[in-house]
A = this chain, B = another copy of it.
């Protein structure tokens, strides 16, 4: 295992130093803070390029047990970050992390039992090294940032797991691009992963998925503020990024959920105003809102890099075939697909399940009838708690049977 030079300036998990300004429900992880791990190692990327130094921003929830065997790594999706659960300030109106329903005492990732870790991916824009970070010449990387892949994200996370002193992860879990990372972990580092939770994801980006991502990138390229990625300190390509987010957002929902939520409802008038000046239909206003919210928190260059990583993703290609890749794994697998998810379809999940079964791996597959499209894995909280929580608790009981 590699030695990692620890240069973080944060002082570890000192929680609740400031008095909470609001009361949290008993199953909330409460106030949390973003930590940083700085690595002076060289990351050898799949493209042939290297990255050094690099930083990973991360958060943890729950407590690592004595033998460091209860850690679950959650990998985030395209637009996610390390802030999975809890609150940074506790200020009134602050929204919790992106999967707060999933992480906490008694929740599907039960922090009474598990030590949960999430790090912002490299290439990201929420504290990990990415295109908006300063390069060694102290100017932002911009497009000088090297291309990254899902395997590179995982390799960087491996440094963090080493740094935390964890030899084997109880599980690696993720939805969408998070699922790609989770299974990549089990293929690249077989002896370090106990279980993979692969949710609404794919082992291989399809032509249609690439096409949607490319359209989003073209919207960013078309924004004059993008300026070939060299816009830090000036106006950002917010319009292009908003359009990219709108395209993507449609693919995260199902036709049914859009119809059920909005149908042909008008936004602000009883009769169609027949105008370009304002959103006429409620669904237009909703999309505009999604775009506006996104550009406030996300960097356009990161969007380019991360969508590229998703497009490059083909787990089998790295090892000759999907079967050969999966043949390396030693983990148990929980695979979930959702009936209305047309971005990462059940067909794709089933190909994975079939191959794992052929290889004699322990795999539990749930195809869920859910109306919310790709976002179902985030929306169907009760069901996910039952399936994911139940699966983890069974594994936990098995592993720690008679221990306590």
Contact = CB atoms under 8 A, between A and B. Distances in A.
B207 A283 contact: yes
B283 A214 contact: yes
Interface stretch (A28-36, A82-90, A188-196, A269-277): A269-277
Given A147-B274, A218-B291, A274-B47, A210 B281 contact: yes
A79 B284 CA distance: 22
A44 B246 CA distance: 35
Contacts of A353: none
Nearest to A288: B218
A287 interface: yes
A243 B215 contact: yes
A147 B273 CA distance: 10
Interface stretch (A12-20, A91-99, A219-227, A391-399): A219-227
A81 interface: no
Interface stretch (A3-11, A168-176, A254-262): A254-262
A213 to B, nearest CB: 9
A263 interface: yes
Contacts of A261: 207
A207 B275 contact: no
A152 to B, nearest CB: 11
A76 to B, nearest CB: 23
Contacts of A283: 207, 210-211, 214
Contacts of A258: 206-208, 211
Interface in A336-353: 342, 345
Interface residues of A, number: 59
A200 to B, nearest CB: 16
Interface in A287-328: 287-288, 291, 304, 308, 311-312, 314, 317
A204 interface: yes
Contact of A214 (B204, B239, B246): B246
Contacts of A345: 255
Contacts of A240: 222
Given A255-B206, A255-B345, A274-B47, A284 B214 contact: yes
A247 B215 CA distance: 6
A215 B246 contact: yes
Nearest to A272: B312
A210 B284 contact: yes
A54 interface: no
The interface centre, meaning the residue of A204, A208, A250 with most chain B CB atoms within 10 A of its CB, is A208
A276 B304 contact: yes
B207 A264 contact: yes
A212 interface: yes
Given A208-B253, A210-B284, A215-B246, 19 more contacts: A48-B274, A146-B274, A147-B275, A206-B255, A207-B258, A207-B264, A207-B281, A208-B250, A208-B258, A214-B287, A215-B247, A215-B250, A217-B276, A218-B243, A218-B287, A221-B276, A222-B242, A222-B243, A264-B317
Interface of A: 47-49, 143, 146-147, 204-208, 210-212, 214-215, 217-219, 221-224, 229, 239-240, 242-243, 246-247, 250, 253, 255, 258-259, 261-264, 272, 274-276, 279-281, 283-284, 287-288, 291, 304, 308, 311-312, 314, 317, 342, 345
